[in-house]
Every structure is written in structure tokens, then in C-alpha cells.
Structure 1
Amino acid sequence: MKTPSRFLFSPRPARVTPVGWLILVGLSGAALYWIYRMIVGFMHDGEPFIFFFSAFLAWFIVFTVQDNRQLMAQHRALADARRGKSICDFARSFNLREVDTWVIRAVWNVLSESVNREGPDGFIIPIFVDDRLADEFMLEDEDDLLDTLEDMAFRAGRSTELLGTDGFSGPLVTVRDAVLLLNALPMTGARKDRLWMTVKP
């Protein structure tokens, strides 16, 4: 029998190496120390630039927190409005004779992981095929979109060599567009090896 999509490939390994994390932590520490020195300098010398910079930094932090809260509220409302929907409803939006269920599940899983939240205040947003990638999933930047497509392709066992070339570059507006694009990509050797599974009697 054909291998069910629940046997999807695991996510790609983290692309940030331990050395990369170490550099990131070091830069963050240096930035915090620089801010601290600026605040101390303002308290001692009263430098106007430091005051205005500190005020801007405080405004930016408050704005970011408020924007994040607003986004979470929108996502929670969307999750409530779509309660009861599932990946089965999502899959029925496609012709399963033509569209690989592995691609469907890979797109669902990757996008779900980007918006769903765990915990007491968490929520799960069922995905609709007409959801806009730039709106619900904030994939406005081309690099972010390409990274996401590569994650989906990896999990579905689709080659990414043709991504971005003629015929494999979009336009990508909705989730449906992403599914159909990935479905058109050739399967990897590893995926072909998993096309069929043996069922023990």
C-alpha cells in the first residue's frame, strides 16, 4: 500500500550551529552592555543623544509588545472562528488523485508550527487553502517564503533544485498556490523509497 502521509520526513536539522548561537549570544551581550553604558553616561553627563536614543528604544519595545499582543489576539479569534475544522477538511480541497498527500500534510504541518501556540493560553488555527501567505503567516519577505517552502519540500520529500526557476517561482499568494507548486516538484530519492510500505497480514 502507499505510505500514509503520517510518515512524513522529520523537520530539517537546525541551521544555526552551536558556534552560531555562541556568536549570537555574544553580540546580544555586547549590545546590552553598550546600552547600559549609554544609560550610565546619560546619568553622569546628561548627553541629549543618549536621552533620545533611550526614549526611542523604550518606544520601540512597547510598540513591539503591543503589536505582538494584537497579532496573538487576531490569531486567537481566527482559531475560535475555525473551531472544528481539521487537516481532513484541508485535504478535501484538493484532488487527491493528482496532489500528493505528503505535500498536503507537509504544508499543513509547517504552517501550523509557525502560528499555533501551546500552553494554557494557546490556540490551534486550522488552515484554509485560500489563506494568504503574506497575511495569516506573515510570509511577505521572499527569503522567508523560500525558507518556508524549502522546509515544506524537505518534509514532503520534494527536490528544491527547481525552486525559483521558470515555472517554479509563483506567483505564490495563497496556501493552495504553495501546495500546487510543491506538488509539481520532483520527488527525492528518499521519498521514492518510501512510496510503498509492506503491510503484514
Structure 2
Amino acid sequence: MSTFIIICGSVLVIVIWALIDHIRMKKIATKRGDPNICEYARSFDYRSVDTKIIREVWNEVQLNLGKFNGKPFPVKAEDMFEETYKMHPDDLDEIYWSVADRLCIDTGQPESNPYFNQITSVKDLVLFLHNQPRVSNA
């Protein structure tokens, strides 16, 4: 019986935490208003950063975060994955691999990238992907 109570209590805590986090994210989304790719893109030097990467990271982060009030989450370049989104590193990896696969970005030797082990924000992820070589059409 005590095991059942512990399991039920754990499930209740997880549900309450998820609800609180959803409300927090909904408040951020409501405060920011409609998603604006133009505002997000202006956060980058789009003459030197690949705009396809900028766009794909925007799409993948929105897809990962879900919708609030029926609209995708309004992503900003300065958003921090851990602090703003409370995103698990595995989710960040999923975004990275998805964008890299879609845009034929080489995922080998990330240690030579100047942004290696420094990805904390959406902008950092874009710049990391931008500094990775492209897969050749061999």
C-alpha cells in the first residue's frame, strides 16, 4: 500500500510541475505576442550567417516547444535553452541533429568548432551549426 502512495505522490508532483511549467511558458508566449521570424532573424548578421540555418533552428525550436493559445511559441535568439525553456539536453540534441540532417551539415569533429560546449542560447546553436562544415555531395 505504501508503494502505491509513493507512486501516486510522485505522479502528482510531476503533473503539478508540468502544469506550472506550461503556465510559465504560456505567460512568456502571451507577453511576447505573435511569433515574428523577422525580429528573430534581425538578431543575426544575416549577410554572414546562413539564413537557412536561422530559419530551420527557429522551426525546430518552435516544434519542440509546442503551441500556446493555438500559436507556435515566439522564439527569440537570446532565449536560453535551460533558463528560458527548461529544456533537457536530450531535447537540444534532437533539435541539433534534426537541423543538421535536414541541411546536410557535417556533425563530425565538433571540438574544432569555436562554439563547442558553449551552446546556451538559440543564437549559440545557430552559430554552432553555421560554423560546422557542410557534407560534400560525394
TM-score normalized by structure 1?
A: 0.61
Q: Is the 2:67–2:73 contact (alpha carbons within 8 Å) kept by the matching residues of 1?
A: no
Unmatched runs of 5 consecutive residues or more in structure 2: none
Q: Aligned letter for 1:182?
A: L
Question: 1:178: how far off?
Answer: 0.6
Equivalent residues in 2 for 1:10-159, closer than 5 Å = 51-117=1-67, 121-141=69-89, 143-159=90-106
Deviation digits for residues 96-150 of structure 1, max 9, x if unmatched?
11100110011101100011227xx544221111100113333343x44333211
Equivalent residues in 2 for 1:161-172, closer than 5 Å = 161-163=108-110, 165-167=111-113, 169-172=116-119
Change in 2 beyond 3 A, CA 1:144/1:158: same
Q: Aligned letter for 1:132?
A: M
Higher relative contact order, chain-length normalized (CA < 8 Å, sep 6+) = 1
2:72 is paired with a residue whose SS is coil
Q: Aligned letter for 1:188?
A: V
Instruction: Output the CA distance in 1 between the equivalents of 2:72 and 2:84.
Output: 13
Aligned residues: 136
Question: Rg bigger for which structure?
Answer: 1
2:67 is paired with a residue whose SS is coil
Q: Is the 1:170–1:177 contact (alpha carbons within 8 Å) kept by the matching residues of 2?
A: no
Instruction: Output the CA distance in 1 between the equivalents of 2:42 and 2:9.
Output: 46
Unmatched runs of 5 consecutive residues or more in structure 1: 1-50, 191-201
Instruction: Output the CA distance in 2 between the equivalents of 1:88 and 1:146.
Output: 25
- Aligned twin of 2:128: 181
TM-score normalized by structure 2?
A: 0.86
Give the RMSD, CA atoms, in angstroms: 2.0
Question: 1:170: how far off?
Answer: 2.7
